[in-house]
Amino acid sequence: MSFRSLSLRAELIQALPKNVTKPTDIQTLAIPALLKNDDVIAMANTGSGKTLAYGLPILQLLKTQQADESSLRALVLVPTRELAMQVTNALSDVASALALNVLSLCGGIDKEDQKQQLLNQPEVVVATAGRLLDLVNEGVVNLSKVQHLVLDEADRLLDMGFWNDVRTIAEQTSKSRQTAMFSATFSQELKEKAQLLLNNPQQITAHQENSVNQKVAETLYLVNKGSKPNALIALIEQYQWKQALVFIGAKDNADKLTKKLTKVGVATAALHGNKSQDEREQTLEDFKSGKINVLIATDLLARGIDIKQLPVVVNYELPAYAETYVHRVGRTARAGKQGIALSLVCHAEMDALNAIRTLTERELPVNELEGFPVTDKPSTGESKRAPRDKKANRRTQNKKSIKQFQGKSKRTNRGDK
């Protein structure tokens, strides 16, 4: 199968990146359906080329369809600013071959600058829902002529609470629009909501539902919770990875682990929601260029970030949601390459592991990590609070003044999940 056999214009094919020589499975299935102007629900593993799977046919349709004037006619909604910029970069080169303009609209970037860019009347906008609605409400963006709407990483849009915004945006687009929904996982809730936005969609599946890319070699180690930092350091020293993306649950923990690795001489940086846009971009650039060997990230990066030829992903902590595991390990083995996914699992995470096993329908056995014997005991599920509560009650009964009841205030930190 070649791109020419998919009825794509020669200009588009010639503008493809040099490493894109033949269509992937999702491109082979989705491009013909979208070129027919059908609505599409598409499921494909991360790293399988879905951006071009919807981008190429929509760009061709925009060039083919007559427009009275240059106006916004295609809209791609994404959950994060990182994905918005990635998609924009991927589409811009091929769009320029057809004299079409692509613009990214997302938070973290000066709104006035974006208003100025909108004066160039882009035909394609890639946007996060919040920033787009801001500009729509200010009367700067008109969605009434949008004929093509794409929801990229649709389940993430739902998980992150953007679905009401998505519906509000969709209602302002053309009633005759084409709608496409792409993601690596589809929950039953998302499937039900999709029916309200799409019209008799073609359902395209390039892989088994909720599966992990077969080119990812998964290994799981059972270790003590307190041994995880040293276990990670030992693995880094053993394999001498030039690049490793390490996923962790909370922002504070990401910073703490970064300090520990830096202390032993590993070039490490953290990436999470507390970082500014400039810091995020610089950190990612340093990681891609090799200035940083290990990137500690929260699930801000679990989806949509394309780091070419990333050799290994490490789950320092298992995610709270099983679907997130699929997206995390999908950061490696992209574009047909081989990849490694290692997970450090403690007894307290066995419920999370079992949820991942159920979702992916894989056994995922845990192994011993040499030099790190497991001494922690599995949780029995019984509460150990009762004796302490009794002591607390006795202390309360002995207190005489209000001041004695005023304990030290505690500050809690919310993790960037």
312 lies in some domain: yes
C-alpha torsion sign, points 269, 272, 276, 282: positive
299 DSSP 8-state letter: G
Provide the 8-state DSSP code for 369.
P
The pLDDT of residue 211:
56
In-domain check, residue 378: no
194 and 328, same domain (yes or no): no
**211 in a structural domain:** no
- The string of DSSP codes covering 369-387 is PTT----PPPP-S----HH
- Same domain for 257 and 193, yes or no, is no
Q: Which of 205, 226, 256 finishes a domain?
A: 205
Domain closes at, from 205, 236, 256: 205
Q: Average pLDDT of each block of 10 consecutive residues along the chain (417 residues)?
A: 90 90 92 96 81 96 78 94 90 93 92 94 96 96 96 86 94 96 84 91 77 76 96 94 91 93 95 83 88 89 65 92 84 71 95 92 92 86 48 44 42 42
Q: Are residues 277 and 165 in the same domain?
A: no
Q: Which of 347, 348, 365 is nearest to 357 (CA)?
A: 365
Residue 251, phi then psi, degrees to nearest 5:
-60, -45
One domain for residues 233 and 193: no
Q: Residue 362: phi, psi to the nearest 5? A: -125, 150
Q: Match 């040293």 to its residue by tokens.
A: 230
Same domain, 234 and 162: no
Residue 408 inside a domain? The answer is: no
pLDDT of residue 335: 56
Q: Letter for the amino acid at 35?
A: L
Integer Cα distance of 374 and 223 in angstroms: 5
Domain carrying residue 242: 216-368
pLDDT confidence of residue 68: 58
Same domain, 196 and 232: no
Tell me which of 205, 230, 257 is where a domain ends: 205
Query: Who's near 1: CB < 8 A, 6+ residues apart?
Result: 22, 23, 28
| Angle, vertex CA 75, rays to CA 288 and CA 118, nearest 5 | 85
One domain, residues 199 and 257: no
Residue 114 placed within a domain: yes
Task: Find out whether 72 and 143 touch, Cβ atoms under 8 Å.
Answer: yes
Q: Which residues contact 362 (CB under 8 A, 6 or more apart)?
A: 212, 218
| Residue 305 included in any domain | yes
- The rounded distance, in Å, linking the Cα atoms of 99 and 337 is 32
pLDDT at residue 317, rounded to an integer: 96
Report the C-alpha gap between 366 and 219 in whole angstroms.
Answer: 7
pLDDT (0 to 100) of residue 284: 86
- Whether 158 and 265 share a structural domain: no
Q: Is residue 142 part of a domain?
A: yes
Q: Do 129 and 268 reside in the same domain of the chain?
A: no
Residues 177 and 305 in one domain: no
Q: Does 33 share its domain with 124?
A: yes
Residue 319, φ and ψ in degrees, nearest 5: -75, 160
Half-sphere exposure of 265 (CA within 13 A, CB side): 4
- Assess whether 34 and 149 both reside in one domain: yes
Residue 116 counted as domain residue: yes
Task: Tell me how many domains the chain contains.
Answer: 2
CA angle 287, 291, 293 (to 5 degrees): 60
Give the separation between CA 174 and CA 178, rounded to whole angstroms.
Answer: 9
Q: Both tokens of residue 252?
A: 């504070």
Q: What is the CATH number for 298?
A: 3.40.50.300
Label residues 84-115 b or e (16+ Cβ within 10 Å = b). Answer: bbbbbebbbebbebbebbbbbbbbbbeeeebe
